[in-house]
Amino acid sequence: MAASTSQLDATINALQGGLSNAAGAAGPNITGWIQTLQGNPQLSGISSELEKLNDAISSGDSSTIASSLSTLGQHTTKIASSATPDSQDKLMQLGQALSSAASQLKG
């Protein structure tokens, strides 16, 4: 996966700071990930889900946001096993943080 470690760190840190903290950085962060994943057919499902999440955040649809975060958490955790060794742990952390954020929203 071509994602930079700093991009992974920034996303993990934003999510671990809680959803209210992550909300402010969500738009630029999501857009950055969509750009990073463009051109990688293996990750097109994640890219599509990020676009769905971005739309849901814009419209304030918390149910769709929770669903997208959950889906992204599952996909991210799944691809971690095939990532480069330096990214595997961070992708697992990111997947768990996304799933945790989805759980928080679902209440």
Digit-coded pLDDT (tens) for 44-62: 999 999 999 999 998 989 9
The confidence score (pLDDT) of residue 3 equals 55
Nearest-angstrom CA–CA distance, 94 and 99? 9
- Collapsing DSSP states into helix, strand and coil, what is residue 67? helix
Task: Show Cβ contacts of residue 54 under 8 Å, excluding neighbours closer than 6 positions.
Answer: 26, 27, 30, 31, 34
The tens digit of pLDDT for each residue in 5-31 reads 788 888 988 888 877 777 777 888 999
What is the model's pTM? 0.88
